[in-house]
Amino acid sequence: MRVRVLGSCAGGGLPQWNCGGPNSQRARAGDPAVPPRTQPSLAISTDGERWSILNASPDIRDQLTRFPGLHPRPGTRDVPLDTVVLTSAELDHVIGLLVLREALSYRVLSTHWVREAILEHNAAWRLLEAVWGSTPLDIPVSLDRNGALEARFFPVAPKVPGYLRELAKPHAETTVGLRVVERETGARMAFVPGLKALDSATLAELAAADLRFVDGTFFSEDELRALRPGAPGARAMGHLPITGPESSLATLAELPGRTFYLHMNNTNPILDRDSPEAARVAAVGVGIAFDGMEIEL
Ligand code: MLT
Ligand code: MN
């Protein structure tokens, strides 16, 4: 199994257009310790020939330009993309579908809740209706055309995206994690870009994986407030912080295999490679995903 990080930041990316915080300013200035990052997405393959994409970020056009594995075959419009999987209806995970609208030569896969919530309230996404399938929780489904990768959604604590509040009710299918297993080798990956709480079922999913990508939005509960007075805390925004009481780092550090934080908000101090916060994460063996990173499993 080969995993490529197409984008490692949360919605907004780094620098974020309206943000004058230290990370965004340093990224704009070309500081090598704070490299620019695009919005969250992974690509996954078994053979490096055909790929699937986990969440479609608003930056997908540039992400695909930078990644030769997903370029069309020369002289054709044949793109080696099998499935685009969505783990929620959050805009930073789904806007990329509108960018990929020129050809519907791939399949979109989400839970029924995510499909219906988006299609019912957002006419533009109906362009994708014909290729958009849904699958129940905890049921295996082939991710790629050859059936080499088996995927299944598992529920995590639901967070209704801000734009759907009052339009849709939280449900077990609102926010999911994705388990991907390579059928031939049994290699297992877990992808949880939105994690509000580390309940025992979610922890068991993470623990059973050889490789995991986990919500690293905020380093601490009140981080956003420093830049945006009155902003809600991390948990109220649906993101378990990395540190502080009942946070993620200490638990993730105990798990076997490899762990990477993904979906960092532009306020997160770990985006500065030279920061003590980045060192603290590295010291317990947890990685920080970056754009263009590739992992072989
Ligand atoms: C999130 O991850 O919480 C959302 O993407 C925030 C948003 O609505 O931009
Ligand atoms: Mn997000």
pLDDT tens track for 190-199: 999 999 999 9
Centre a 10 Å sphere on the Cβ of residue 139 and count the other Cβ atoms it contains: 9
Name residues whose C-beta falls within 8 Å of residue 258's C-beta, 6 or more positions apart in sequence.
210, 211, 212, 287, 295
Span from the CA of 65 to the centroid of ligand 2 (angstroms): 22
Alpha helices in the chain (DSSP H): 22-28, 60-65, 91-99, 112-121, 200-207, 249-253, 276-283
Distance, CA of 153 to CA of 54 (rounded, Å): 12
The confidence score (pLDDT) of residue 266 equals 98
Is ligand 1 within 6 A of the CB of residue 215? no
pLDDT digits 0-9 by tens, 94-129: 999 999 999 999 999 999 999 999 999 999 999 999
Where along the chain do its domains lie?
Answer: 2-296
Is ligand 1 within 6 A of the CB of residue 232? no
The confidence score (pLDDT) of residue 29 equals 98
DSSP letter (8 states) at residue 203? H
At the second CATH level, the architecture of 2-296 is 4-Layer Sandwich (3.60)
Is ligand 1 within 6 A of the CB of residue 238? yes
Span from the CA of 45 to the centroid of ligand 1 (angstroms): 27
Mutate to test the pocket of ligand 1, among 91, 265, 268 (most ligand atoms within 8 A of CB): 91
Span from the CA of 284 to the centroid of ligand 2 (angstroms): 25
End-to-end CA distance of the chain: 5
Is ligand 1 within 6 A of the CB of residue 144? no
pLDDT digits 0-9 by tens, 124-179: 999 999 999 999 999 999 999 999 999 999 999 999 999 999 999 999 999 999 99
Over residues 233-261, mean pLDDT:
97
